[in-house]
Structure 1
Amino acid sequence: MTATPLLCFITDADAPLSVPDQAERAARGGAGWVQLRDKTLDTDAFTDLARAVADRIAPFDARLIINDRVEVAHAIGAYGLHIGQSDGDPRRVRARIGPDAVLGLSIERYDQITTIPPGCIDYLGVGPVRATGSKVDHAPPIGFGGLARIVQDTRLPCLAIGGLTACDAADLRRAGCTGLAVVSAISRAADPRAAARAILDQWSTV
């Protein structure tokens, strides 16, 4: 089974820092994965950005996860791809990216864990736990109770997402999460590298 990191940073196209700068600073702070998310760029621009981000984070042993763009992930041989509930049949996505790439799936409600194709998905992104401004069309928040219920009833590693900060580490560990994914807690921080480090430090001390 794929080892998920304690911290996945999801890029923020609207943040003051450029996406490559965000990614590098998060990776310097210890984020094991950087998920590249941008709903507005065309395929060529997104591909170029993905390659730039991969180059910037590689020296820090961080891995690039592509959000939604199956063809980009396939074209550049990305380490992984993350898809949502509306991004197609996970089995077809898996066939396209191959057996070696990491494939993650968003879970927004408890009933969605019953439809996960066996042997296809490597990890789940579960949430939003709280409402968040980084994704305006997010599903209703599930809270820590909803999070724990999902995590306890799946064998897949779970990264919590949605309005989370370093202060949530204890609750997330109690819920059984293997880690968390954040956007603004790093991208909008005065020092993104320090923000990433603080999340990991808090996780290790609870």
Structure 2
Amino acid sequence: MPSLGRLHLITDTRPGRHPLAVLRAALGVAGSDLVVQVRVTDEATDREAYDLAGRVLALCAPYRATCLVNDRLHVALAIGAAGGHVGAHDLPVDAARRVLGPQAVLGATAREPVTARSAVAAGASYLGVGPCHHTSTKDGLPDPIGPTGVRAVVAAVDVPVIAIGGVTVARVPALRAAGAYGVAVVGELSAAADPARVTAELLRGLS
């Protein structure tokens, strides 16, 4: 299983966003320290997800950055990604682990200690924990848990906790102080005028 980078970039495929351009900029700064989670909208076809994930993997390969596919584990297998990430409405973690195999990176979503421990027991390699703050990048999310919620999950598990949801450069220090191993970002990079500069700032906050 590859070592897990602290900065996770989740692809933003909303209209007007340019996920591959943002990825190129981030890879140029973060290199192998970057984990890329390929996430597409529910409306995207499997073929569209496959095409995007394949292009992401090709960009990651020279840098030895980790490429994961969110939700659509068959796409992760089809492109040869390092693994995948499942949310609350996707396959159960134990089923996802059976699909991906014992060596793959498998992330799972959690927001409190009980579900976090269950996900780790079922085979999660790391946890995406949040939303930490309000965010507009995904609809229907529960109330933010803040650094206090992150700290509670960190105390309950022995796998890396990746804070997600409304993560900005300014909020990284508090999340790290709460015990987060790393952070996952969407809008902070996809909406940045200079994603390379923001990547460098995020990495400094995580170091």
| Letter in structure 2 aligned against 1:33 | V
Match for 1:136 among 129, 134, 139?
139
C-alpha distance in structure 1 between counterparts of 2:17 and 2:28, whole Å: 15
Matches within 5 A, 1:144-163: 144-163=147-166
Task: Check if 1:25 corresponds to 2:25.
Answer: yes
Structure 1 position 126, deviation (Å): 0.4
Structure 1 position 119, deviation (Å): 5.9
Native 8 Å contact 2:109 2:129 kept in 1: yes
Give the equivalent residue in structure 2 for 1:34.
36
Native 8 Å contact 1:15 1:188 kept in 2: no
Give the equivalent residue in structure 1 for 2:64.
61
Stretch deviating more after TM superposition (103-112 or 173-182): 103-112
Q: C-alpha offsets along residues 128-170 of structure 1, whole Å, 9 cap, x if unaligned?
A: 0001011122121111111111111111110001111111222
| Letter in structure 2 aligned against 1:75 | A
Stretch deviating more after TM superposition (41-50 or 168-177): 168-177
Stretch deviating more after TM superposition (114-123 or 170-179): 114-123
Q: C-alpha offsets along residues 153-203 of structure 1, whole Å, 9 cap, x if unaligned?
A: 111110001111111222122111111001111110001111111111233
SS of alignment partner, residue 9 of structure 1: strand
Label 1:111 to 1:123 Cα distance change in 2 as closer, same or farther (>3 A).
Answer: same
Stretch deviating more after TM superposition (103-112 or 159-168): 103-112
Label 1:68 to 1:189 Cα distance change in 2 as closer, same or farther (>3 A).
Answer: same
Q: CA RMSD in A?
A: 1.7
Label 1:196 to 1:95 Cα distance change in 2 as closer, same or farther (>3 A).
Answer: same
Q: C-alpha offsets along residues 9-62 of structure 1, whole Å, 9 cap, x if unaligned?
A: 111112634222222222222151111111221011110111111112222221
Task: Check if 1:164 corresponds to 2:180.
Answer: no
Deviant stretches of 4+, over 4 Å? none
TM-score, L = length of structure 2: 0.92
C-alpha distance in structure 1 between counterparts of 2:21 and 2:69, whole Å: 17
| Letter in structure 2 aligned against 1:190 | A
C-alpha distance in structure 2 between counterparts of 1:35 and 1:48, whole Å: 14
Task: Check if 1:178 corresponds to 2:157.
Answer: no
Gaps of 5+ in 2: none
C-alpha distance in structure 2 between counterparts of 1:61 and 1:2, whole Å: 10
Label 1:53 to 1:2 Cα distance change in 2 as closer, same or farther (>3 A).
Answer: closer
C-alpha distance in structure 1 between counterparts of 2:160 and 2:5, whole Å: 10
| Letter in structure 2 aligned against 1:146 | G
Stretch deviating more after TM superposition (6-15 or 184-193): 6-15
C-alpha distance in structure 2 between counterparts of 1:90 and 1:160, whole Å: 19
Label 1:138 to 1:85 Cα distance change in 2 as closer, same or farther (>3 A).
Answer: same
Stretch deviating more after TM superposition (175-184 or 111-120): 111-120
Give the equivalent residue in structure 1 for 2:127.
124
% identical aligned pairs: 34
Match for 1:191 among 177, 190, 194?
194
Report 1 or 2 for greater relative contact order, CA contacts < 8 Å, sequence distance ≥ 6. Answer: 1
Q: C-alpha offsets along residues 88-121 of structure 1, whole Å, 9 cap, x if unaligned?
A: 2211111111112100001123331242252611
TM-score, L = length of structure 1: 0.92
